[in-house]
Amino acid sequence: MRWRGLTGVLSSQACTLSANRLLTVAVPWLVLDRTGSAAQTGLVVACQVLPYAFTQWLAGPLLDRIGPRRISMAGDLASASVLIIPAIFGTPPLWLLTLMLVVVGCADGPASAAKRMLVPFAAADAGQSTTRGVGLATAVERTATAAGTALAGWLVATLGGDRALWAAAAMLGVATLIVTLTVTDPVRDRGRDDETYLDRLRTGAAFLRHSRPLRALTAMFVITNLLDQALMAVLLPVWARAGGHDATVVGLALSTVGLASIASALASAGFGTRLPRRATYLIGVLSSGPTRIIVLALDLPPQVVIGVYALAGIGSGLFNPLLETVQVELIPAALRGRVQTLISAWAWAGIPVGGLLGAVLLNTGGLHAALWICGLAYLAAVLRPAWRMDWSRPSAPAPPGDGIRLVPAGRNRITRMLRERPCPPNRDEHRHLLRRRSGGEVTLHR
């Protein structure tokens, strides 16, 4: 029974991620089939994607206040309820489909952030390290990306776009049921009763602003996501066409990345705690980041490109769980919802303009110049955190209450006085485990 919570969180993530991958295939196909307009298709898809990161950030104080389990259940249930509209009322008009996807994006952002928050607590309850829990969650995500997209294509081809939405609703309903039956909400430090919602939102922003390691990671996320989007949306397809290759080469390279990352994420879950952190980070980011772009700039054969992309997948599966673990260690459990969702919002900020950047570089200097610029910028972005952060593992947990102090600073606001050293990373996880084993309540003395 110790693994019940972790198994439940991972299973619900698998269902939710598979539903999302299904929507990424079914919705564009449905809109294109109905309108034949690529512009309208892009607009409808954007209506789901754009609210995702923004509502994650806005939900941060609620995640810390009322707990991630309830947010996860509410978000998945809301998305499932909206997606069954075609089953009840028939094929929706385009405006209603757009509104449905806006609601799904608004609900899915907080629900996804909630499951991410539950992983460290569930891992502690199972007697496992945060690294192992995060590694397993990464493997689930990559598997859902690889298998979920293939399943989505089959469902859309056999059932049609409308009925594929029903399948997505069913998956989200199953995810809600799994969380309801298997996951326990961790003990939450609810903070001051007189703190307003905006006070809590500002507290998360203040913590991120005063933490140099987290600032370095956030800047890296923003730049690399922007460059990844430029590569995926513009540069990789243009490289394939310019070299006389068809879409099969692109699809095979991307599939290789996904499959290799699943294997390395499982390896990270198995023995990631024994790997040297700085070396693991450098090997992971250098093999999975700039190499994917530079290998295209060198005009190497497709076989070499696919091999490099396989190595990139291995590196990706190694360093992503490490970065997630580091964030868990650096952010106090009481602030994790606000700070992690803010980091995610910043990370998503560059994605909408990534394709535009790729197009501008392509039109300005040509394909090779654009590839070299993006590759070198990617290299600079990933190297910065390697020397801006302390990669040593945390020492024994500090006494309860250490690391963060509330100080009044005016009539209507609270200023957080933040120390540079990280707060005890697993205090709430340990309290959660102690409560589950003893059946009693644990009081946090501040």
Structure confidence at residue 9 (pLDDT): 93
Query: Minimal CA–CA distance to 291: which of 387, 374, 384, 359?
Result: 374
Give the E-state strand segments of 60-167 in sequence order.
none
Q: Identify the residue whose tokens are 């990352």.
A: 261
CATH 1.20.1250.20 fits 195-393+400-433, yes or no: yes
Name the pTM for this structure.
0.79
Give the contacts of 344 (CB within 8 A, at least 6 positions apart).
Answer: 53, 56, 57, 113
Query: By 3-state DSSP, what share of the chain in percent is helix, strand and coil, each rounded to 5?
Result: 80, 0, 20
- What are the b/e assignments for 220-250, b being 16+ CB within 10 Å? bbbbbbbbbbbbbbbbbebbbeeeebeeebb
Answer whether residue 210 shows pLDDT above 50: yes
- Report the Cα 83 to chain-centroid distance in Å: 22
Answer whether residue 424 shows pLDDT above 90: no
d(CA 117, CA 378): 28
Query: Minimal CA–CA distance to 427: which of 408, 443, 405?
Result: 443
Pair of tokens at residue 143: 């598997």
Structure confidence at residue 188 (pLDDT): 64
Answer whether residue 387 shows pLDDT above 80: yes
Structure confidence at residue 22 (pLDDT): 84
Structure confidence at residue 145 (pLDDT): 79
More confident residue, 49 or 132: 132
Per the CB < 8 A criterion, the answer to whether 413 and 298 are in contact is: no
d(CA 443, CA 334): 14
CATH class of 1-188: mainly alpha
Pairing of the two strands 404-408 and 414-418: antiparallel
Give the model confidence (pLDDT) of 331-361 as tens digits: 998 889 899 999 998 988 888 788 888 888 9
Distances (CA, A) of 400 to 6, 189, 267: 25, 12, 33
More confident residue, 201 or 148: 201
Reduced to 3 states (helix: H, G, I; strand: E, B; else coil), residue 121 is helix
Pair of tokens at residue 40: 């309208």
Give the model's confidence band at 193: pLDDT under 50 very low, under 70 low, under 90 confident, else very high: low
Helix (H) or strand (E) holding 148: helix 130-159
Per the CB < 8 A criterion, the answer to whether 310 and 301 are in contact is: no
Give the model's confidence band at 207: pLDDT under 50 very low, under 70 low, under 90 confident, else very high: very high
Stretch(es) of the chain classified as CATH 1.20.1250.20: 1-188, 195-393+400-433
Give the model confidence (pLDDT) of 315-325 as tens digits: 988 888 899 99
Per the CB < 8 A criterion, the answer to whether 143 and 259 are in contact is: no
